[in-house]
Structures are given as C-alpha cells and as structure tokens.
Amino acid sequence: MGGRGSGGRRIGAGRKAKGNVVAFTHGSRQRTVPPPEAPVIHGDPVDPPADITPEQLAVWALHAPDAIRSGTLTRQTARSFVHLVCASEVIYTRIMATLEADGWTYQKQTEFGPEPKTHPAQNRLEYWYRRIVDGHHEFKLAPFGRAVAEAAKPVDPFAEFEAQA
C-alpha cells in the first residue's frame, strides 16, 4: 500500500453538490460564518485624569479626539492613554530639548586626547520613541497603510414588503 497516487482527494470523488434551490429548501451542510460585528464607536467625551501634568494635558488635547473617534479611548482606558501616549511624548520632548541644548556629541578625554562620543541620552531617546510608537499603535493614532473599513449596516430583507403595507 502507499506509493504514488494513493490516498487524498481524487477528482470527482464524494457526494455531488446540491443545486442552489435544492440546498436552500433542504438545507445545506455548508455553514456560512457571519462577519464579526464592528465595535460600537460612541465618541463619548472622556475627561483626563485629575493628576495629569500641564505638558501631558497638551498632548492629551492633541491626540485624545482622534483616539475617541477611533473608539480606543474610553473612561476605562484613560489612565493607560496618559501612561502610554502622553507621558511618553513629554519625556521624549524633554530628552530632545536636552540634546539640542547640550549637543548630540561631547568630547571625552582619553589617553590619546579628546575623542567625540555620542551623548548618553541618545539611547534613552530611542527607547522613548519606541514607547511613543507603541502607544500610538495601541490607541490607533498611527497610520497603518490601509483604509479602515466601515461596518456595513444590516439590510432588512423584508423592508421592501413592509414599506408596501
């Protein structure tokens, strides 16, 4: 047994498919999976937490409307929004200001003379940039290259007949 051509599907094997009318009246074993329901986007206004700093409040005012519109910023996720988006952007801005004031490099004295080195804050800058990107993806603030599909409104198959009555 075995060898070439044994087992598996073969052309023409199995029960023949029912016609559309017969399948509808008798029932069909094929099951169609309904599409997943789109999340309900309420757009209710969300107030920032009371202990937010003024810098974080400015970032909140910039990004919160978009996150509310996309349905990712709610009262339950407000604290995470402050932590992942607002605080990260404030810290990133402070590190950028430090680098612009101090310079991106500094001179380190070695036994061979002064040697240019990158500022130690540059590593932290990359870390906080990645935190910002992650926060923007989490709350759907970052572009992701494709259009967001609008949920199709369910069609009532009997609306035509109800309108006539």
pLDDT tens per residue across span 12-62: 777 777 777 777 777 666 666 666 665 555 567 889 999 999 999 999 999
Residue type, 153: K
- CA pair distance 148, 46, nearest whole angstrom: 23
The domain segmentation of the chain, as residue ranges, is 52-143
Pick the more confident residue, 153 or 56: 56
Write the burial class of residue 81 (CB in 10 Å: 0-12 exposed, 13-18 middle, 19+ buried): buried
Longest dimension (CA), the chain: 97
Tens digits of residue pLDDT in 61-111? 999 998 998 888 999 999 999 999 999 999 999 999 999 998 888 888 888
